[in-house]
């Protein structure tokens, strides 16, 4: 057996999960990065992933992989840098277990991240928010779910992963109405709800029903929505909203735009958002 397979297994089970207690999202991100790298190395060497050794993943292979991400898979520089971070993390771990590969590991760790330009922060104004919230067809079950999800996103500024992770038990609609979530960095937080969002959620939850541990915004099969599913429904409703709100045609919003929109709404209301930064 090569040194790579047991070291990679130990890295995920012992290092990431056991010692660092990395979040499921971090583990999944690093897993995907290594899955892509192993597939790329297999194509270059003709070896099965289980047969690859650390020596097969030298700096030239890793650099070629990163270039392939941008040219062939059309990944952004940010995604390229995120994949590199996952690779570096493993090689730092491997350096102590396999000092015989110290030179190779040092050269991989020396691969620099790429600079990337910061894009202007996009957010929606009142007319655009209204058009987006009106876009779902509330005569249908999916339309009512999407309307409620978008309403909660605009009002709370939750990330997509936080929205899809919400359970029925995370919503409190009584005195001091709020939603609870565990966000980035495992930070627990509660976000208050306004009267309109409370009413929207009350109607949706009465229809949604289910157990306390069931996801708040399920699919038709009663499973949690994925990030890609939220992206698709957001794109669909944005297209509909553009027909009624011309200013949206000049923007290219994403689900994360609603997080910026929430922050801008708080700023306009005189709230100091710096006190709640994560």
Q: Per-residue pLDDT tens for 236-274?
A: 999 999 999 999 998 989 999 999 899 888 777 766 655
pLDDT band at 277 (very low <50, low <70, confident <90, very high): very low
What's the pLDDT at 136? 97
| pLDDT of 278 over the 50 cut | no
Confidence of residue 1 (pLDDT cuts 50, 70, 90): low
Is residue 195 annotated as part of the catalytic site, yes or no? no
Q: Is 259 a catalytic residue?
A: yes
Share of the chain above pLDDT 90, in %: 78
Higher pLDDT, 3 or 118: 3
Measured from the Cβ of residue 265, the count of other Cβ atoms closer than 10 Å reads 19
Query: HSE-up of 83 (CA within 13 Å, CB side)?
Result: 24
Q: pLDDT category, 158, cuts 50, 70, 90?
A: very high
2 — pLDDT class (breaks 50, 70, 90): confident
Q: Is residue 223's pLDDT more than 60?
A: yes
Backbone angles phi, psi at 188, to 5 degrees: -85, 135
Per mean pLDDT, which range of 20-29, 75-84, 160-169, 181-190 is the poorest?
Answer: 181-190
> Active-site residue among 184, 236, 249, 268?
184
Q: Considering only 79-88, 99-108, 176-185, 234-243, which range has the smallest mean pLDDT?
A: 176-185
Tell me what percent of the residues of the chain surpass a pLDDT of 70.
93
pLDDT on residue 265: 82
> Quick check: 62 and 107 in contact, CB under 8 A?
no
The catalytic position among 98, 182, 227, 256 is 256
- Tell me, what's the pLDDT at 187? 74
What phi and psi, each to the nearest 5 degrees, are found at residue 224? -70, 145
Closest by Cα among 30, 107, 37 to 68: 37
What's the pLDDT score for residue 106?
97
- Structure tokens that stand for 233 in this block: 């429904």
Q: For residue 149, give the nearest of 243, 241, 255 by alpha carbon.
A: 255
pLDDT of 100: 94
- Of the ranges 150-154, 164-168, 171-175, 268-272, which one carries the lowest mean pLDDT score? 268-272
Q: Which of 80, 147, 159, 237 is catalytic?
A: 159
Measured CA to CA, the distance from residue 262 to residue 278 in angstroms comes to 15
Q: What is the mean pLDDT of the chain?
A: 91
Using an 8 Å Cβ cutoff, are 208 and 218 in contact?
Answer: yes
> Crossing angle of helices 141-156/227-242, nearest 10°?
90
107 labelled catalytic:
no
- Can 83 be counted among the known catalytic residues? no
146: left (phi over 0), alpha (psi -120 to 50) or beta: alpha
């Amino acid at each position: 057996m090569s040194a790579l397979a047991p070291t990679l297994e130990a890295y995920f089970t012992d290092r990431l999960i056991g010692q660092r207690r990395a979040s499921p999202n971090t583990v999944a991100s690093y897993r995907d990065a290594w899955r892509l790298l192993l597939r790329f190395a297999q194509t270059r060497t003709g070896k099965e992933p289980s047969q690859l050794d650390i020596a097969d993943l030298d700096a030239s292979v890793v650099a070629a992989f990163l270039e392939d991400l941008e040219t062939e898979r059309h990944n952004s520089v940010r995604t390229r840098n995120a994949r590199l971070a996952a690779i570096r993390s493993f090689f730092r771990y491997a350096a102590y277990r396999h000092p015989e590969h110290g030179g190779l590991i040092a050269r991989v760790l020396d691969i620099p991240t790429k600079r990337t330009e910061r894009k202007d922060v996009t957010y929606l104004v009142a007319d655009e928010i209204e058009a987006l919230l009106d876009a779902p067809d509330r005569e249908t079950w999916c339309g009512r779910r999407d309307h409620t999800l978008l309403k909660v996103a605009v009002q709370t500024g939750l990330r997509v992963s936080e929205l899809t992770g919400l359970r029925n038990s995370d919503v409190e609609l009584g005195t001091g109405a709020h939603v609870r979530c565990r966000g980035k960095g495992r930070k627990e937080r509660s976000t208050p709800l306004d009267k309109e969002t409370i009413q929207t959620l009350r109607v949706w939850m009465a229809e949604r029903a289910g157990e306390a541990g069931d996801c708040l915004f399920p699919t038709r099969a009663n499973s949690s929505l994925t990030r890609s599913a939220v992206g698709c429904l957001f794109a669909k409703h944005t297209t509909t909203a553009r027909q009624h709100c011309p200013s949206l045609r000049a923007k290219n919003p994403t689900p994360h735009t609603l997080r910026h929109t929430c922050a801008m709404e708080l700023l306009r209301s005189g709230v100091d958002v710096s006190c709640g930064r994560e």
